[in-house]
């Protein structure tokens, strides 16, 4: 039999397009089996090669993520400080806002690309631990209450049923999923509301796993908004990585977040569901069945107001980081809350400083020369006077096992860089009895969120400029409106944010709504 004929038969077999009786004879079998064996070996080698390439890619991305996060932490921190400077001119404020926006976008892209790479390579794992559910939810709610208040959108947290006090879950990845869904809801809602609901959908029951009985509960997390909505044809692709949706505004911001969130949710044994109507809003939800370590149920937790400081003796906080800029930045950001702050440039100096300062809280960078954060924590915990001091590890390293390692050696918690100050305060609140002070005014009534609009002639002028794509003209027009009346600040901020991101189509949509 000719070699070509044998290859044709082998190809037909591999493609499942053969008719065995018609194609294969006894004389053909030895050569066909030989070629099939060679094809199998080639596939095995290709698979091994691909796995090695994936491993190399993931390691490279993890290292690059760490290298990028370190300078980005400083960039974002100083941008936030500059934004609070009342002496900035309008042009300077615009440039600082661009730095802040670009830095945040790079942080998100870095994290998303690393996560999707690990998931596709099968290297993403769940790290289960005991989680105090009410405190976990509270920290997320507080984060988004601040964001929505700044944006002028109503945010409501609803807990219609009691919820378990303690569950077993992957805290990091569950937080990542919920923050992504809530973040998208806030991002694509310009006015109206974003609602977050957590409920127990079934009573706590007992199930048997490998002969062992355990208590489990089913929790439903729902995020609903009155934002731009998603077209029906796009609902099929929003959870797919690298897919572009038809809605230009949605496509510019969704990134890989939804794809990662869906795959993480599937790893947890569930699936994110969605319904949406264009122009009216969206509703995302997921249900998770999770083990509980306490069958005690806690009544709905009231959301705290934004923390502004605390009463009583100032808490002493020691910042340990070999990067001088990081230490200066954190001191400036935390000073306004009333902490008494000292810092140390490395682990060895930290031991000396801690003896003098006697801190209540140590904010500890993991990667330092001479004495790293892990080794330093072990030394501190071996000293009687530091058995109960709150140690919070921080790092730009985003590898999933870092947090587990820090908890194992004695840290109370872990925060990724750049540090979210509100999340840090929430962690401190978990471990210390703190008499916090809050913002005196909280606006949660959507009926009170009416926005002062400039005269119709000014809005029409803005609309025409947006239709022409004239960004400079829009900025100039907003400057004129700003001089008319201070009450138009919320309106000006909304339009300017979109103009700086070249979203003239969104500006047109908003102005059309404001004229209804």
Q: Domain map of the chain by residue range?
A: 28-124, 129-298, 312-434, 451-514
Q: What is the mean pLDDT of the chain?
A: 79
Local confidence band at 117 (pLDDT 50, 70, 90 cut-offs): low
315-to-196, 287, 336, 345, 444 alpha-carbon distances in Å: 32, 40, 13, 21, 31
Residues 307-336: what's their mean pLDDT? 86
Examine residue 443 and say whether the peptide bond preceding it is cis (omega within 30 degrees of 0): no
The CATH architecture of the domain made up of 28-124 is Orthogonal Bundle (1.10)
pLDDT of residue 449: 38
440 has pLDDT over 50: yes
The CATH architecture of the domain made up of 312-434 is 3-Layer(aba) Sandwich (3.40)
pLDDT of residue 491: 83
**Whether 291 contacts 215, CB under 8 Å:** yes
Q: Which residues are within 8 A (CB) of 484 and not within 5 positions of it... i.e. 6 or more apart?
A: 454, 455, 458
pLDDT of residue 509: 76
Q: What is residue 273's three-state secondary structure? A: strand
Q: What backbone phi and psi angles, to 5 degrees, belong to 368?
A: -140, 150
Could you please state the CATH topology (level 3) that the domain comprising 129-298 is classified under.
Answer: Heat Shock Protein 90 (3.30.565)
pLDDT of residue 255: 54
pTM beyond 0.85, yes or no: no
Q: Per mean pLDDT, which range of 100-109, 130-139, 267-276, 342-351 is the poorest?
A: 100-109
pLDDT of residue 450: 47
165-to-221, 337, 470 alpha-carbon distances in Å: 16, 29, 54
What per-residue string of b and e applies to 160-199 under the rule 16 or more CB within 10 Å gives b? Answer: eeebbbbbebbbbbbbbbbebbbbbbbbbbbbebbbbbbb
- Same CATH topology for 28-124 and 129-298: the answer is no
């Amino acid at each position: 039999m000719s070699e070509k004929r044998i290859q044709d038969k082998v190809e037909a077999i591999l493609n499942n397009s053969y008719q065995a009786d018609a194609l294969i004879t006894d004389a053909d079998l030895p050569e066909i089996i030989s070629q099939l064996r060679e094809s199998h070996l080639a596939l095995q080698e290709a698979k091994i090669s691909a796995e090695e390439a994936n491993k190399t890619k993931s390691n490279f991305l993890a290292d690059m993520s760490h290298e990028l996060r370190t300078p980005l932490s400083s960039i974002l921190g100083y941008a936030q400080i500059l934004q609070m400077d009342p002496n900035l001119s309008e042009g300077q404020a615009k440039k600082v806002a661009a730095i802040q926006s670009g830095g945040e976008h790079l942080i998100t892209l870095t994290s998303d690309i690393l996560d999707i790479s690990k998931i596709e390579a099968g290297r993403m794992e769940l790290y289960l631990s005991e989680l105090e559910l009410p405190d976990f939810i509270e920290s997320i709610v507080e984060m988004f209450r601040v964001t929505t208040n700044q944006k002028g959108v109503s945010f409501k947290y609803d807990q219609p049923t009691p919820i378990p006090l303690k569950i077993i879950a992957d805290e990091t990845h569950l937080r990542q999923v919920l923050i992504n869904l809530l973040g998208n809801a806030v991002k694509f809602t310009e006015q109206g509301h974003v609602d977050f609901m957590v409920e127990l959908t079934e009573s706590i029951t007992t199930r048997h796993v490998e002969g062992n009985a355990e208590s489990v509960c089913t929790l439903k997390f729902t995020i609903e908004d009155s934002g731009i909505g998603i077209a029906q044809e796009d609902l099929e692709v929003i959870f797919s990585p690298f897919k572009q949706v038809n809605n230009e505004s949605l496509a510019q911001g969704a990134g890989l977040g939804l794809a990662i969130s869906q795959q993480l949710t599937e790893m947890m044994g569930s699936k994110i569901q969605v319904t949406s109507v264009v122009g009216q809003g969206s509703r995302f939800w997921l249900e998770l069945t999770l083990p509980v370590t306490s069958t005690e149920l806690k009544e709905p937790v009231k959301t705290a107001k934004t923390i502004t400081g605390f009463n009583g003796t100032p808490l002493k906080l020691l910042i340990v980081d070999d990067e001088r800029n990081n230490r200066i930045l954190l001191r400036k950001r935390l000073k306004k809350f009333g902490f008494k702050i000292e810092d140390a440039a490395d682990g060895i100096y930290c031991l000396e400083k801690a003896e003098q300062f006697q801190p209540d809280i140590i904010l500890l960078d993991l990667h330092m020369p001479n004495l790293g954060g892990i080794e330093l924590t072990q030394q501190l915990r071996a000293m009687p006077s530091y058995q109960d001091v709150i140690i919070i590890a921080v790092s730009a390293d985003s590898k999933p096992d870092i947090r587990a390692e820090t908890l194992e050696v004695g840290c109370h918690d872990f925060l990724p860089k750049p540090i979210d100050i509100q999340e840090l305060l929430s962690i401190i609140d978990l471990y210390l009895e703190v008499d916090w002070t809050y913002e005196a005014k909280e606006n949660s009534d959507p009926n009170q969120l009416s926005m002062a609009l400039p005269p119709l002639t000014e809005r029409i002028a803005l609309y025409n400029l947006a239709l022409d794509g004239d960004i400079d003209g829009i900025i100039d027009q907003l400057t004129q409106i700003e001089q008319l009346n201070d009450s138009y600040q919320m309106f000006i901020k909304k339009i300017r944010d979109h103009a700086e991101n070249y979203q003239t189509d969104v500006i047109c949509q908003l102005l059309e709504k404001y004229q209804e």
